[in-house]
Every structure is written in structure tokens, then in C-alpha cells.
């Protein structure tokens, strides 16, 4: 398995979820061993993809420090993980990523437009060697050893449409596009009204999120998957794990985990040197299986 970047520069413009303003996003290739780098275009600030560079996790994953931070990067990073991108320059003309339709599928389409190219260097991966666990207020997030990437999530909401949902997802690029990428973020009408009163979620609409009142879904088209809510949580978790800068070979297990808990999990992993190993993909014991997973 080789490192990968995109073949050509691409750009897209969409609405910012919180600002409600048009946001331009450009993607450009980078040479080997560059990693994924965010550029806050208005200030020129360079932000490297590291768990310690995450400044906020309350409503989204935010990289950098205000006023030069970039919010809501998790959906984009989820697509980057799925497409096995190692080196990429991401320039954002605003303070947040465009929300697109509230899922990751538009970013997948943008990467398809850019094209993916193999580079002249072997890919490195993070292999989980020992279980790492974080807990907070009844929420749990775990990384534990597994021969392939697995994401196992459980949520429970006191809402007739959601209830308790569980999904154990054996990751592959192909299944990601079919089973995860189209799952949209969701929110409750009562919460949106409050957030907009404090100048947040100004771009939120039924065009980029699943909206719910106290009893039902507000979107006239309904759901894309019967368990779209837990699938979106897996989409988010994949994006949050990409903060490690490499694909993870292990099983992620979560009960009601949040961006905050995911960030704590990645930080704890990196601080526990005996819990993981960074190795060349070709040296992994099931290297050929990984090729199938990430191809």
C-alpha cells in the first residue's frame, strides 16, 4: 500500500452550518510525508491534523484557535479516511467547512472529481495493540485490537423515531460509500431555535440535516437509512479518528460517544505508547486484507 494524494486541484462552495454564509473549499495535492494540512485562508494560518490541535468539540470538531479556527471538519475527514488520503492541502475561505447536505457524500464526490493517485512512498498505519478506554457521564469510547478496522456504535434517544440504535460496521471504502457516507447529521427543532438565537446553526435547514420535532421527522423525503442516526454517528467517529493522521487498524466501540470523547480517546491513545504501533502497511500481518479494505 502506497501513500496517496489527489491528482488535481478542485474546489467547491457551500453554506456554513453555523454562519449561514457561503464558504469556498479548495483541495490540492501535496508530496509524500506531508500529511493533511488545513489552511485558514483569511489569515494564512496553517493547521496540522493532530488531536492536540483540536480546540472545541461541543457542537463539532474544531481545529485551531479562534479567530483562526476551522469548524465542522469531521464529515470531510471521514471521507478522507475512507479514501485513504495521506497528503492533502485543504484551504478553507471562512471559519468552518461547508456543510453540504449534512453527510460526507459530497466530499466523496469531490474526491472522485479530483482523482486519487498513488505516491512513491509506503503508507504507514496505526495498529491498536492494547485497549484504550475513556468514559464520561455514562458515555464510553474504546479502541481495542482487531485485524481490520471496525466501528461499533450504540445510541439511545428518548424520541419515537430514534430510540435505541446499534450498528457494527466492518469498514471498507466501497461499503463506506454505500452504507455510511450518505447518513446526515440531525437536530431537534427546539435546539435549533435556541442555537440560532445565539447566532449559531444559522445555516441549518432541512437541506443539510435531519430535523425532528418532539414526535416525528420534519424532512418530507424521510430517511436515507432506517437507522440513519447511528450511521451518522459512525461517520462522525471515522472523521474524528482521522485526527490521528493515519488509518487505524483496530475496533472502535462507543456508547453515546461525542466529539469531545473521541478527542479524549485519540489523545489518550497517543499518550499510551504501549497501546499502539505505527508500522508500514506492507509489514502488517494481514497486508493483503488491508489492500482490499482501503482500495
Residue extents of the structural domains in the chain = 2-122, 125-294
Torsion of CA 1, 143, 57, 183, to 10 degrees: 70
pLDDT band at 58 (very low <50, low <70, confident <90, very high): confident
Say what the pLDDT of residue 285 is: 78
The residues near 41 (Cβ < 8 Å, ≥ 6 apart) are: 24, 91, 92, 93, 94
Query: What percent of the chain has a predicted confidence (pLDDT) above 90?
Result: 87
When pLDDT is averaged across residues 8-13 and rounded to a whole number, the result is 98
When pLDDT is averaged across residues 92-119 and rounded to a whole number, the result is 97
For the cut 80, the answer to whether the pLDDT of residue 128 exceeds it is yes
44 CB neighbour count, 10 Å cutoff: 9
**Global confidence as pTM:** 0.96
**93 bridge partner residues:** 24
CATH code of 2-122, in short, is 3.30.230.20
pLDDT band at 131 (very low <50, low <70, confident <90, very high): very high
Choosing from 40, 75, 232, 259, the catalytic residue is: 259
Residues 259-277: pLDDT tens digits? Answer: 999 999 999 999 999 999 9
The helix, strand and coil proportions of the chain, stated in percent and rounded to the nearest 5, come to 30, 35, 40
Pick the CATH number of 125-294 from 1.10.3720.10, 3.30.1700.10, 3.40.50.2300, 3.50.50.60: 3.30.1700.10
For the cut 80, the answer to whether the pLDDT of residue 112 exceeds it is yes
For the cut 90, the answer to whether the pLDDT of residue 40 exceeds it is yes
CA distance 232 to 63: 20
159 is catalytic: no
Amino acid at each position: 500500500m502506497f501513500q496517496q494524494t489527489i491528482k488535481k486541484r478542485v474546489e467547491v462552495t457551500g453554506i456554513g452550518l453555523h454562519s449561514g454564509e457561503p464558504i469556498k473549499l479548495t483541495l490540492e495535492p501535496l508530496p509524500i510525508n506531508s500529511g493533511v494540512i488545513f489552511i485558514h485562508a483569511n489569515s494564512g494560518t496553517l493547521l496540522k491534523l493532530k488531536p492536540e490541535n483540536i480546540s472545541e468539540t461541543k457542537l463539532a470538531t474544531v481545529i485551531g484557535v479562534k479567530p483562526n479556527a476551522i469548524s465542522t471538519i469531521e464529515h470531510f475527514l471521514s471521507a478522507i479516511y475512507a479514501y485513504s488520503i495521506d497528503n492533502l492541502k485543504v484551504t478553507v475561505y471562512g471559519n468552518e467547512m461547508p456543510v453540504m447536505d449534512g453527510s460526507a457524500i459530497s466530499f466523496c464526490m469531490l474526491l472522485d472529481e479530483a482523482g486519487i493517485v498513488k505516491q512513491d512512498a509506503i503508507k504507514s498505519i496505526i495498529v491498536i495493540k492494547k485497549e484504550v478506554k475513556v468514559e464520561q457521564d455514562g458515555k464510553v469510547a474504546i479502541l481495542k485490537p482487531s485485524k481490520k478496522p471496525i466501528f461499533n456504535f450504540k445510541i439511545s434517544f428518548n424520541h419515537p423515531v430514534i430510540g435505541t440504535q446499534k450498528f457494527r460496521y466492518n469498514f471498507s471504502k466501497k461499503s463506506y460509500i454505500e452504507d455510511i457516507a450518505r447518513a446526515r447529521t440531525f437536530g431537534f427543532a427546539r435546539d435549533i431555535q435556541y442555537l440560532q438565537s445565539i447566532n449559531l446553526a444559522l445555516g441549518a435547514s432541512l437541506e443539510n440535516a435531519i430535523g425532528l420535532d418532539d414526535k416525528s421527522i420534519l424532512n418530507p423525503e424521510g430517511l436515507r437509512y432506517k437507522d440513519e442516526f447511528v450511521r451518522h454517528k459512525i461517520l462522525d467517529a471515522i472523521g474524528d479518528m482521522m485526527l490521528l493522521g493515519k488509518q487505524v487498524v483496530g475496533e472502535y466501540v462507543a456508547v453515546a460517544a461525542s466529539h469531545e470523547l473521541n478527542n479524549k480517546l485519540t489523545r489518550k491513545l497517543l499518550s499510551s505508547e504501549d497501546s499502539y504501533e505505527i508500522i508500514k502497511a506492507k509489514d502488517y500481518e494481514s497486508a493483503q486484507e488491508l489492500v482490499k479494505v482501503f482500495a
